Amino acid sequence: MKAVNTCKAPSAIGPYSQAIQKGNRIFISGQLPINVLTGEFAGEDITSQTIQSLENIKHIVEEAGAAMSNVVKTTILLANIGDFAEVNKIYVRYFQAPFPARTTYEVSKLPLGALVEIESIVYQ
């Protein structure tokens, strides 16, 4: 196993890695919408937070030498499932058909009060 870390995405807020690479698979931990330059959420709305979470994933994917087209699975955690349609509008900016397999859940709370957290699995 090899840890994948980039300074272009926020550091883990707990005892875990940004991502772990094992063979040709990369497991990216849930990415909060933290802007690494400010240390704060990218904004207060689901659009800006979704963009930031996906940008953080993109930076980690690229650090591992892969591309967003290598993402095969995502899990999206939402504070409000009513944001599902708005998240989809942003999601299609980062992924094209055939889209990664995906699961989306509404959860009661996310770390630091985020509106969204996204994790992914990459296959190279």
Instruction: Give the domain CATH number at 107.
Output: 3.30.1330.40
Are 124 and 31 contacting, i.e. CB atoms less than 8 angstroms apart?
A: no
The whole-number pLDDT of residue 58 equals: 98
β pairing state of 116-123 and 25-31: antiparallel
**Number of structural domains in the chain:** 1
pLDDT band at 109 (very low <50, low <70, confident <90, very high): very high
Share of the chain above pLDDT 90, in %: 97
The whole-number pLDDT of residue 49 equals: 98
Span 46-55, mean pLDDT? 98
Q: Extract the tokens encoding 35.
A: 């802007």
> Would you call 114 helix, strand, or coil by DSSP?
coil
pLDDT band at 14 (very low <50, low <70, confident <90, very high): confident
β pairing state of 19-22 and 2-4: antiparallel
The whole-number pLDDT of residue 12 equals: 86
Owning domain of residue 106:
2-123
Q: What is the mean pLDDT of the chain?
A: 97
Number of Cβ within 10 Å of residue 26's Cβ equals: 25
Number of Cβ within 10 Å of residue 79's Cβ equals: 18
Span 13-39, mean pLDDT? 95
The whole-number pLDDT of residue 24 equals: 96
Cα separation, 60 vs 19, in Å, equals: 7
The rounded Cα 55 to chain-centroid distance in angstroms is 7
The whole-number pLDDT of residue 101 equals: 98
> Would you call 80 helix, strand, or coil by DSSP?
coil
